[in-house]
Amino acid sequence: MHRACTALCLLLGSLVSMAATEPPPGHDESKFGQRLSYQKIEGVGPCIAAEVAGDRLYAIGQGQLYVLDIATPQHPKLLGTLPGLGTTRQLVIKDKIAFITARQDGLWLVDISNPAQPALISHYDTVEMATGIWVSGGLAFIATRCYGVEVVDVSNPRRPRHVSMLKTGEAQSCWTRDGFLYIGDWAPKKLLVADVKNPRQPVIVGEAPLDGYGDGGCLRGHYGFAATGHHSRAPDKAAAEGKGHGLDIFDVSNPAQPVFVSRVKFPALYSIFNDMWEARVAGDHCVVADTHNGLFVVNIRDVTKPVIVAQAQLPVVQKWKLPDSVGGVALAEGVIYAAGIGTGLYVVPAPGLAHPVVPEPDQPPTLSALPTAVVEGPDFRTYRPEGQVYAVTVQGDIAWAACGAAGVHAVRLGDRMEPLSVHRGEHDVSYVSCLGNRLFTAEGQGGLVIYDIGADLRLTERGRLQLPGQGVKQVVVPAPGRFALLHCGGATVHIADVQDPAHPRLVFSDAQVGLFYGDQLVNKLFAGRYLTAYWQRSGPAWYDISGARPLLAGNTPDTTLFSWTDGACPLGDSLLIIKRGKYFLLEPNERRNASALPGYGVAGLSLVGRPSTDGKTLAVSSRHNRTVKVLDIADSAHPVLKRKYNLSGHPGACDFWQGRVLIPAGYQGLLLERQPAGPTAP
């Protein structure tokens, strides 16, 4: 066995060669420093992030982890790989573990103690798109964009546990030291500082404006370095467009009061894709990855007067008609490693400019014990499994709940919320759809799974449809049940024929503008022929299944953008959509502009989120804001607010039981209303 592993290492190492390339025309050297040459590491695919730890280089891209030997920094040798990690985005190396974020695919923990055979330790189901990552002691801090920063206990790497959430504007990246968390707040263009000494109750204590969209950064001594991009804060649009790229430096001696020190600016650029930037400091220099602009080396010996001294742009990618985007950088002695999102991993020789990053001394926060008992409040009966409750569907007195890593739970509804059966699969369960004695589940990389429901509520798998490279996040199967509508990855819809449950097959696919940030599919077949998905930018899409093959009939257009926070549900034979704080009723295959239709709402109340209705009551759950608003819509043109709930969890689409609202509330559990009180004021 030892000889086989050695042979494998030699084989992998032999596949890596350094192919010299000429740098493309770069930026003005008088403004942005000398152009650095680079060499591509053959045998390593497209990469989005890289980190150095000792004499190892780690890189991730397109779902794969690469481990390389850099005992000779300019000549990396590939040691091992691990595929199957989803939509990889950032990584941190700590204590022989690689912590890897993967957007909608959550967080992966990988054992790298044997570099030739990195091995998966565990997977963690994050609240939202896992983007940024930092680890301090036994805690991981995960930037989940519009949902903020999720704090996760990773002291037992085989069993990561949710701790808390910190709400921010749009957390893209984060880094921490001594119980203070620094956050690159994307569209708000801010550097946020949070006190996380009590990880169960993190709180924002300071902020500073950035002259560009916030993303990655780092600390060194009394100073914080924040990379910025996209548009600046200039009040005039033309003066701001694409001019937010640069490096902002702050004095963080008092973390709660970051003080601006200086900044440098990189060339103006605006590309909505591959838009990420980060900073790494070692010695007298800060190296910044700045998407298609490439990388820049900034001399920070005098932090009050930073100077750009070097640059490198990667080869042009024809499909983008731009130089490849530098997703991240890592530093070794005399060498910068640049992760090219489209083309691969590069060595950029930089003698005298690059040194290994020395980790900052850090006093990690201490995590207090969590009470074991579930404490019910006055509003709800609570069922709390180990995972987060994403979705629920009611069948009689039974709630079928998609509980993430905890699987599918059949829960008896009533004064006692108790499980009658639990089915744990190999993958996280993020959605359930029930039709008769059949249950359809969305199980990420496990695909669409079809179960028969037994008399004892036990599930027996009948069929499965897996889509290579795509995780199934939501499934709905409206009556009569021939077709399943699937949401996969960040922005893809599929339709599967499930007439033969043992052999489901893909029959249609669609990709439109915008991402799916929640359960955007509608569980109803309209006019006997239309399945519906609510796209973030494109609006409701009507898929006609009446012909030989499903097809896109069209979208309900709008002159204003639809919101990623909103959704749709059936109300009788109409489609109810939430938009601009009100709800609108659309006829099947509605092709008129939605803004031209009447909107209904309550004065002084903004409706935001995913709607659900039993015909008389409308529940609007905002997973983003952690609220549920319940309205009486017996007269649909004159809704009345009945009650509003502020939750600690993140609610998905609700269901109803005996006139009470049933809320899948993420890590707060499954919540069933007690007998509701009367109407309340907005």
Mean pLDDT over 656-678 rounds to 89
pLDDT per residue as tens digits for the range 430-453: 999 999 999 999 999 899 999 999
Backbone conformation region of residue 337, classed left if phi is above 0, alpha if psi is from -120 to 50, else beta: beta
Q: What angle do CA 56, 58, 62 make, to 5 degrees?
A: 160
The residue type at 585: L
Q: What is the pTM of this model?
A: 0.90
pLDDT per residue as tens digits for the range 103-120: 988 999 999 999 999 999
What is the spatial distance between Cα 163 and Cα 181, in angstroms, rounded to a whole number?
15
What is the spatial distance between Cα 389 and Cα 45, in angstroms, rounded to a whole number?
36
Does residue 13 register a pLDDT over 70? no
What is the spatial distance between Cα 370 and Cα 615, in angstroms, rounded to a whole number?
40
| Low-confidence winner among 358-372, 397-411, 456-470, 652-666 (lowest mean pLDDT) | 358-372
- Whole-Å CA distances, 324 to 75, 144, 298, 394: 22, 25, 21, 49
Does residue 4 register a pLDDT over 60? no
Residue 293 pLDDT class (50, 70, 90 cuts)? very high
What is the predicted pLDDT for the residue at 567? 92
Does residue 500 register a pLDDT over 90? yes
- The full set of domain ranges for the chain reads 19-43+119-337
- Whole-Å CA distances, 601 to 91, 541, 570, 584, 654: 44, 24, 17, 9, 19
DSSP state of 633: -
Does residue 553 register a pLDDT over 50? yes
What is the predicted pLDDT for the residue at 560? 74
Residue 589 pLDDT class (50, 70, 90 cuts)? very high
- Which residues does residue 431 pair with via DSSP β-bridges, in sequence order? 442
Q: Tally helices (H) and strands (E) across the chain.
A: 3, 60
Element holding 2 (H helix, E strand): helix 2-14
What is the predicted pLDDT for the residue at 374? 63
The architecture in CATH of the region 19-43+119-337 reads 7 Propeller (2.130)
What is the predicted pLDDT for the residue at 372? 64
What is the predicted pLDDT for the residue at 14? 37
What is the spatial distance between Cα 286 and Cα 350, in angstroms, rounded to a whole number?
12
DSSP state of 595: G
Residue 377 pLDDT class (50, 70, 90 cuts)? confident
- Which of the pair, 555 or 13, is modelled with greater confidence? 555
| Low-confidence winner among 2-6, 75-79, 201-205 (lowest mean pLDDT) | 2-6
Q: What is the mean pLDDT of the chain?
A: 92
Mean pLDDT over 516-540 rounds to 90
What is the spatial distance between Cα 213 and Cα 209, in angstroms, rounded to a whole number?
10
Percent of the chain with pLDDT over 70: 94
What is the spatial distance between Cα 391 and Cα 274, in angstroms, rounded to a whole number?
31
Residue 471 pLDDT class (50, 70, 90 cuts)? confident
The residue type at 308: I
What is the spatial distance between Cα 214 and Cα 170, in angstroms, rounded to a whole number?
9
HSE toward the beta carbon, residue 105, CA cutoff 13 A: 24
Mean pLDDT over 307-330 rounds to 96
- Whole-Å CA distances, 275 to 61, 200, 271, 403, 568: 15, 31, 7, 33, 30
Mean pLDDT over 132-143 rounds to 98
What is the spatial distance between Cα 74 and Cα 350, in angstroms, rounded to a whole number?
10
What is the predicted pLDDT for the residue at 25? 63
What is the predicted pLDDT for the residue at 490? 72
What values do phi and psi take at 414, rounded to 5?
145, -160
- Whole-Å CA distances, 150 to 162, 163, 172, 183: 8, 8, 12, 12
Instruction: Choose among 37, 15, 153, 157: nearest CA to 81.
Output: 15
